Amino acid sequence: MSGEMREITYRQALSEALGEELERDPNVFLMGEEVAQYNGAYKVSQGLLDRFGPKRIIDTPISENGFAGMGVGSAMVGLRPVIEFMTFSFSLVAFDQVVNNATNMLTMSGGQFNIPITFRGPNGPAHQLGATHSHATECLYANFPGLKICTPATPRDAKGLLKTAIRDNNPVLVLESELLYSSKGMIEPAEQELLIPLGQAELKREGTDVTIICYAQTVPLALAAAQALEEEEISAEVLDLRSIKPLDHEAIFNSVAKTHRVVIAEQDRPYCGIGAEICYRIQNEIFDELDAPIARVSQEDVPMPYNERLEKAVLPSAEKIVAAVKKVCNA
């Protein structure tokens, strides 16, 4: 039984997910900079302090290492913290807590302590924030066994993935996107439970000539590229990974076996980026399905410049994806 779909923003979707999980489980709490009285730097936690009170919606000082570690400690004894990083660029200050404490704990305690924690916040370049505030951290974190990572691109995925992350018994990173917070999309009615499994990609558009593999900010770019390619009679399939770890190889292999040509549109940098891993897996598992070398569209391999024109030159774009598709299709 399902009600009428409705349109909400990505920001509202995240807020609904938090509200529902806080309501459902008294062990869930939200902690981070400006999450309570200020209602969230990006207003994701708008209204939650009024609804759940200061015991469960907790403002912290600017101490990412401290409050991330505090979250991990509380998770050792069964609380389910949601830790907001104002941006994942700041998570680098807490890198040790995420990597050594949240992620290693289960193994180094011989299975005694799992860490049911969610770290969430915007990740990746936004608009002219310069080198320190524009990091796409997914490839850094993906290297650590023990972490799960998801990258919602739509309001529906944002809600469904965040709720699943909070219920997961492992540390999960929910990598949101500043550029997507105000984007809108269709979603089930609020009263209908929406859980999207981690590790499950989704075809955002079907096609026959080429697969564009994308996630997070590159999903709208890939969709725009596919639209443009339609006019040139190239039918592009758009596969949104939704999760970086675990990675849905089945969905990737199925799509590639259908189209035989691949462009990977990633929001991180090329060197050891997510696309490098996907290329390896495709050639290793279904090399014979490929009719052309795989192309990658990523950031340029430079620290992010502030200048708008230069920033644009660094970032992936629909135009760059179109060009890459034409190259692999010999069009």
**Dist. CA 17–CA 158, nearest whole Å:** 8
CB-nearer residue toward other proteins: 113 or 253: 113
> Could you say which residues in the range 1-40 bind other proteins, by CB under 8 A?
29
CB 236 within 8 A of CB 225: yes
Which of 317-330 are b and which e, b meaning 16 or more Cβ less than 10 Å from the residue's Cβ?
bbebbbebbbebbe
Q: Is 305 in the site for other proteins (CB under 8 A)?
A: no
Q: Is 293 in the site for other proteins (CB under 8 A)?
A: no
CB 7 within 8 A of CB 184: yes
Min. distance of Cβ 63 from other proteins in angstroms? 4
CB 33 within 8 A of CB 60: yes
Min. distance of Cβ 35 from other proteins in angstroms? 14
Min. distance of Cβ 145 from other proteins in angstroms? 5
CA distances 31 to 20, 72, 100, 117, 118, Å, are 16, 12, 20, 11, 10
Q: Which helix (H) or strand (E) holds 314?
A: helix 308-314
Q: Is 112 in the site for other proteins (CB under 8 A)?
A: yes
Q: Is 65 in the site for other proteins (CB under 8 A)?
A: yes
CB-nearer residue toward other proteins: 76 or 224: 76
Q: Is 143 in the site for other proteins (CB under 8 A)?
A: no
Residue count at the site for other proteins (CB under 8 A)? 41
Min. distance of Cβ 116 from other proteins in angstroms? 9
Stretch in the footprint of other proteins (CB under 8 A) among 73-81, 176-184, 217-225, 308-316 = 73-81
Q: Is 79 in the site for other proteins (CB under 8 A)?
A: yes
Q: Is 92 in the site for other proteins (CB under 8 A)?
A: no
Min. distance of Cβ 80 from other proteins in angstroms? 11
Which of 45, 60, 211, 255: binder of other proteins (CB under 8 A)?
Answer: 60
Q: Is 119 in the site for other proteins (CB under 8 A)?
A: no
Residues serving a catalytic function are 64, 133
Nearest-10 crossing angle of helices 274-286, 249-259: 60
Q: Is 307 in the site for other proteins (CB under 8 A)?
A: no
Q: Which helix (H) or strand (E) holds 55?
A: none
Q: Is 47 in the site for other proteins (CB under 8 A)?
A: no
Pull the structure tokens for residue 330.
């010999």
CB 134 within 8 A of CB 126: yes
Q: Which helix (H) or strand (E) holds 159?
A: helix 155-167
Q: Is 125 in the site for other proteins (CB under 8 A)?
A: no
At 20, which amino acid appears?
A: E
**Dist. CA 71–CA 45, nearest whole Å:** 18
Min. distance of Cβ 100 from other proteins in angstroms? 5
Binding footprint of other proteins on the chain (CB under 8 A): 29, 55, 58, 60-61, 63, 65-79, 81, 96-97, 100-101, 105-114, 145-146, 148, 169-170
